[in-house]
Chains A and B, each alone.
Chain A
Amino acid sequence: MKNRLRVLRAERAWSQADLAERLHVSRQTVNAIETGKYDPSLPLAFRIARVFGQPIESIFEDEAKEPAR
C-alpha cells in the first residue's frame, strides 16, 4: 500500500522520531510504514490521519484499486 507519510512529515519538518512519538510507536515502525514495507492496522491508520488532520484515503492509497473507467 502506497502512502504519503514521508511527504506529510516533511511538510511539518518532523523527523521519524517526532512522528513516532506523536503516534506512540517506535521509529522503526514509522520507517517501515513510510517505505511501504509494513501496512498499519486500521486503528493506527486512524491515529495517523488524526495526527495529520487528513482523511485516511488522502494518506493511504490502495494499489489494488481498479482504475476508473
Chain B
Amino acid sequence: MLNVPAQSDRTAKSPISPLSWMWGGLLVGGGLGAVLHLTTLPPAAFGALVSVGAGLAMLPCALGWKRVDEAAREAHKAAWFWGGAWSLALVAGLFAWLARAGAGAGFAFDRFAIGRGDAGLIAAGIALCLLVQIVGYGLFWAGWWLSKR
C-alpha cells in the first residue's frame, strides 16, 4: 500500500542527542572565541579567525539539526523568523530614538562601546542586534512549544 521507509534516516536513533550536538557547537565556538580573545592578533586576522571559528562551531550544530525531528525544526525556524524579526522591530524604536537624540540623549554612548572609537560603537550596535535577536528567538521558541501543548 505505502512504499515508504519505516523510519527517517535523518531522525534515526543516535546515541548523541540533537541538543548535545548543539551544545557542542556552542562549546566549540565559545572555546575558540576565548582562545582568540587572549591573542594579540592584528584586527583583520582576528576577525577572519573569529569567522572561521564561528563556521567550525556550526558543524556540530548542523549534525544536531539533521537529527532533530520536524516539529522541533519548525519551532527553530519560526522562532528565528518571528522572534528575530519582532525583536529587531522593537529595537528599531531604540535606534530611532538614539539617532534623533544624538549627544542630547543624556548619557555618553562611549560607555557602551566595545573597543575604542567609532568602530567600538558600531561593534556595540552589532552586538545589541545579535543579543536582542537571540532573546526574541528564545522567547518565541518557548512560546511555540507552549502553544502546541
Which A residues are closer than 8 A to B by beta carbons? 23-26, 28-29, 31-33, 35, 37-38, 40-41, 43-44, 46-47, 49-50, 53, 55-56
Contacts and interface: CB of A to CB of B under 8 A. Distances in A.
Contacts of A43: 4, 8
Interface stretch (B43-51, B53-61, B111-119, B141-149): B141-149
B70 interface: yes
Interface of B: 1-2, 4-8, 11-13, 69-72, 74, 145, 147-149
Nearest to B71: A29
The majority secondary structure among interface residues of chain A is helix
The majority secondary structure among interface residues of chain B is loop
Nearest to A55: B1
A2 B136 CA distance: 31
B7 A24 contact: yes
A31 B72 CA distance: 13
Contacts of A46: 2, 4
Contacts of A40: 70
A17 to B, nearest CB: 14
